[in-house]
Every structure is written in C-alpha cells, then in structure tokens.
C-alpha cells in the first residue's frame, strides 16, 4: 500500500502538474511557517498568544476562552435541535399531533412545540449556545471582519451536524430518496454584503467543505430586499416580511429538483429566517431541507445545563 502510494507520488513528482503541486505544497508550508513567525497565532477573542501543535491548521481559542464556550449537547429535539432538559422515551404521546408525527416520534424525541407546530425544515442543529464567549466570537466573525474564525466554527458545526453527512436519506424522512445534496448559505442583501465584505454563511460553507465533499450553491438563494426591522412585529408578520425577502435564482431551479439541501447560517435566533428560506427552497422543488448553524439563541427556561 505504502509502496503504491510512494510510486504514485514519484510519478506525480515527475509530471509537470506534480512539480507545480509539490512547489505549491512546499510554498504553503513555508508560507504558513513564515506567517506564524511574523504574526504569531493568537486567540481570536482575547488575543492571547497560542501555541500551535505540529500540523495544526485550524485556529483555536486559548484555554480561558474555551472554558467560556457552551456547546449544545444531547438530548435534543430531533426536529428543531433545541436542547431538552432530559431524555424522554418515545416523546409525547398524548396530543393529536402525535398521530401525524408518529413516524418520527417512534424513534426520536420531539419537543412539544415541534410536535404542535412542525417546522418546514426536516432537522436543525447548532453547535453553540448563543451567549457569553460564543456570542462574542460569532459577533467578531459577523460584524468585525474576522473571516479567519470560520474554520473554528465550522469544526464545531461539522460535529453538531454529524447526522447530516450520511449521503443516504434519513430513515425517518418523509421524502423520496434523492441523490443530490447541496450546501446553501443564507444570503446577505447586496447592500450589507458591500458593507461587510463577505457573507459569513458562505464562509462557513467554504470551511465546512474541508470536511465533506458536498458542493456549495453560493447563489441559489438571493435576498431581494433588505430585511425590514423585525422588532415589534408578531411572528406571522415577521414570516410574511421575510417570505418576500428571499428568492430562488431561476437558473438554479433545475439543480434543486428533488435535492436535499443543508442550509447554513451563523445564528438561529427566532427561526423565522431559516423557515422562510426553507419554504422558498421547497416551493422550488427541494425535497428536504436540513439547517446547520454555528450558534442558536435558546430561551432561558430551557437553558438549564452547564457544560
Ligand atoms: Zn482567549
């Protein structure tokens, strides 16, 4: 095995393409070392110097900031991904909603809100509780021009979305099996894009593609109007507002037919944005939408567990 590998490497080294690859590889290793020497890696939150171990490429946090980050862990609502205070066996079986959702409830714990008001997406997951150091990190990434935080968040998101990476459709999926899977970022409005220089959700897609070979459709979803102020509006008003804000690019409709989409966002707050995006995608022919975010706002009453 090793010998075959070595031979392949040798063949590669003697081709023009191989020579270029090797040069680029060496340049990136040397470049990385020079950069580390010139700009020593620092904690993105408190700027404390970090010591990278050999071969480490993903940035990290210092020990102090790391301890302040709260990860969302099981038990979770299978549909919304909201952490549950305790594991329930077979979920809630009393309501009428159980009948319509029993396919899911037989195997998974579903929170009561998700049973009563099933979300349009199939599953949502987030890596972190939005608060404290995690909120600081996400804000630095979102508003203060720190795209280098994306690989750090993506590493945690990849773990939070571990169920999404199997290419076979989920056994509880109500949709027919399909072959196409796409990563799609929640879009920013062009005006905001100019101001922020990058779409944070698109950066997260790029960073996630290091782990999974899933193609990204960067501009399948477009934001046609900037979001109006949502403060003071009811939930249905907010949804109506957002429903008009997104569109599927007509040239992408064919690619989306029967596909499974993993929708990527930085923070889930009320959930209205991901719901609006999901509805638009499904209207365009997408079979199943799963949502993956770096962090989510969790209501204090459910936020009972520490790390
Ligand atoms: Zn720190």
Residue (of 262, 51, 64, 259) closest to 154 by Cα position = 262
Identify the helix (H) or strand (E) that includes residue 293. Answer: strand 288-296
List CB-based neighbours of ion ligand 1 within 5 Å: 43, 45-46, 48, 62, 65
Cβ atoms of 178 and 89 within 8 Å: the answer is: no
Whether residue 75 has a cis bond before it, omega within 30° of 0: yes
Q: What is the pLDDT of residues 180-205, one digit of tens each?
A: 999 999 998 766 666 667 899 999 99
User: Could you tell me the distance, in angstroms and rounded to a whole number, from the CA of residue 86 to the centre of ligand 1?
Assistant: 32
Contacts of 110 (CB under 8 A, 6+ apart): 77, 78, 79, 91, 92, 101, 104
The residue ranges of every structural domain in the chain are 2-58, 70-296
CATH architecture of the domain 70-296 equals 3-Layer(aba) Sandwich (3.40)
Strand bridging mode 288-296 / 123-129: parallel
Query: Which structure tokens are listed for 106?
Result: 């037989």
At residue 13, the pLDDT reads 40
User: Could you tell me the distance, in angstroms and rounded to a whole number, from the CA of residue 7 to the centre of ligand 1?
Assistant: 45
Alpha-carbon span 22 to 14, nearest angstrom:
10
Q: What is the pLDDT of residues 12-35, one digit of tens each?
A: 444 444 455 445 555 554 554 555
Q: What angle do CA 280, 286, 290 make, to 5 degrees?
A: 85
What pTM, to 2 d.p., does this model score? Answer: 0.77
User: Could you tell me the distance, in angstroms and rounded to a whole number, from the CA of residue 136 to the centre of ligand 1?
Assistant: 11
Alpha-carbon span 296 to 268, nearest angstrom:
5
User: Could you tell me the distance, in angstroms and rounded to a whole number, from the CA of residue 50 to the centre of ligand 1?
Assistant: 9
């Amino acid at each position: 095995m090793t010998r075959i590998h070595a031979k392949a490497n040798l063949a590669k080294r003697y081709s023009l393409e191989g020579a270029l690859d090797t040069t680029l590889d060496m340049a990136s290793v040397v470049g990385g070392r020079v950069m580390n020497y010139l700009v020593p890696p620092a904690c993105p939150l408190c700027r404390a110097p970090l010591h990278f171990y050999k071969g480490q490429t993903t940035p990290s946090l210092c020990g102090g900031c790391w301890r302040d980050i709260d990860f969302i862990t099981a038990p979770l609502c299978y549909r919304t991904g909201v952490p549950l205070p305790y594991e329930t066996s077979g979920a809630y079986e009393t309501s009428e909603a159980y009948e319509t959702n029993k396919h899911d409830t037989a195997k998974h714990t579903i929170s009561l809100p998700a049973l009563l008001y099933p979300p349009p997406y199939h599953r949502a997951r987030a890596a972190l509780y939005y608060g404290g150091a995690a909120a600081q990190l996400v804000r630095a990434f979102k508003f203060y021009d720190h795209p280098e935080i994306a690989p750090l968040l993506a590493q945690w998101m990849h773990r939070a979305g571990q169920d999404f990476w199997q290419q076979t459709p989920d056994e509880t999926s109500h949709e027919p099996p399909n072959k196409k899977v796409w990563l799609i970022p929640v879009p920013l409005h062009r005006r905001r894009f100019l101001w922020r220089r990058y779409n944070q959700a698109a950066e997260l897609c790029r960073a996630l593609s290091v782990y999974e070979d899933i193609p990204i459709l960067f501009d399948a979803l477009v934001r046609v109007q900037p979001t109006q102020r949502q403060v003071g509006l009811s939930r249905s008003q907010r949804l109506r507002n957002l429903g008009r804000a997104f569109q599927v690019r007509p040239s992408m409709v064919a690619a989306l037919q029967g596909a499974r989409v993993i929708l990527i966002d930085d923070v889930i707050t009320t959930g209205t944005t991901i719901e609006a995006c999901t509805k638009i995608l499904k209207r365009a022919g997408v079979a199943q939408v799963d949502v993956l975010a770096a962090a989510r706002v969790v209501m204090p009453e459910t936020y009972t567990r520490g790390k």
